[in-house]
């Protein structure tokens, strides 16, 4: 592995850990010696990276430092392009515009020898066969970021028409379906609701208090599945 690429990989490893990580763990992750990790840490610090720690105690990278310019492998470039295609064709127009802008920025700084890989149409991601929901996903995403409650009305023939207040915690794309994972105030439990079953969604001014990330951990621990076709809905 070239040293420049190794330094980049070390930075990525430090970003992934976010908390203090031992030199031995970094060495095992990158497949190099502990001595190499210590030497590369000193090099990165000399380049301006704010890495706290020392041998024997571990290291942690403070946010804000980036290595110039972007050093992507061929597979990393393909992964970015495939992911961008999926986002632009499966989500809302605002997110599609954002990902296309991000790709343009990446393309502008790629070395000339990597451009053919970036522009090579190796994969194709299709648009959904069924028409997407008429609900504005950008508003749902805003509610997720700001922890706004939602008032929803269901559109199921086999379910009684009623409104519910939910705390949205995550958007899901499951086997071609768009779903909302949420805490339901009505029965105090987590639900995963197919957005095709929603007649209306209103973002409320009121916020829910628990931290969304903590709610996500609780939801995952309970392993809640999407609502079934027999009407088990929030």
Domain ranges for the chain, please list them. Answer: 3-61, 74-119, 137-222
- Is this prediction's pTM over 0.95? no
Contact partners, residue 90, CB within 8 Å, separation at least 6: 125, 127, 128, 173
Per-residue pLDDT reduced to its tens digit, 169-189: 998 887 778 889 999 998 899
Which run of H or of E encompasses 21? Answer: none
CA atoms within 13 A of residue 227's CA, in its CB half-sphere = 24
The contacts of residue 188 (CB under 8 Å, 6+ apart) are none
Residue 190: pLDDT above 90? yes
Please say whether the structural domain 3-61 has been given the CATH code 1.10.10.10: yes
CATH class of 137-222: mainly beta
- Rounded to the nearest integer, the mean pLDDT of the chain is 82
Kindly state the average pLDDT of the residues 208-224: 88
């Amino acid at each position: 592995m070239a040293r420049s690429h190794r330094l980049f990989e070390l930075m990525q490893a430090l970003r992934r850990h976010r908390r203090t990580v031992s030199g031995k763990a970094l060495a095992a992750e990158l497949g190099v010696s502990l001595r190499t990790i210590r030497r590369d840490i000193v090099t990165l610090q000399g380049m301006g990276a704010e890495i706290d720690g020392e041998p024997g105690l571990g290291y942690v990278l403070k946010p804000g430092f980036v290595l110039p310019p972007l050093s992507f492998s061929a597979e990393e470039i393909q992964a970015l392009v495939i992911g961008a295609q999926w986002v632009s064709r499966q989500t809302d127009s605002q997110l599609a515009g954002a990902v296309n802008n991000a790709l343009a920025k990446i393309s502008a700084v790629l070395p000339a020898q990597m451009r053919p890989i970036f522009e090579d149409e190796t994969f194709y991601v299709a648009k959904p066969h069924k028409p997407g929901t008429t609900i504005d996903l950008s508003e749902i995403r805003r509610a997720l970021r700001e922890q706004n409650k939602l008032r929803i009305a269901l559109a199921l023939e086999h379910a009684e028409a009623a409104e519910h207040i939910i705390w949205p915690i995550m958007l899901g794309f499951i086997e071609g379906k768009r779903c909302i994972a949420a805490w339901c105030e009505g029965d105090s439990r987590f639900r995963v609701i197919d957005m095709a079953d929603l007649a209306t969604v209103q973002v409320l001014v009121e916020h829910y208090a628990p931290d969304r990330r903590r709610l996500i951990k609780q939801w995952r621990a309970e392993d809640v599945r999407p609502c079934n076709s027999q009407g088990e809905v929030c």
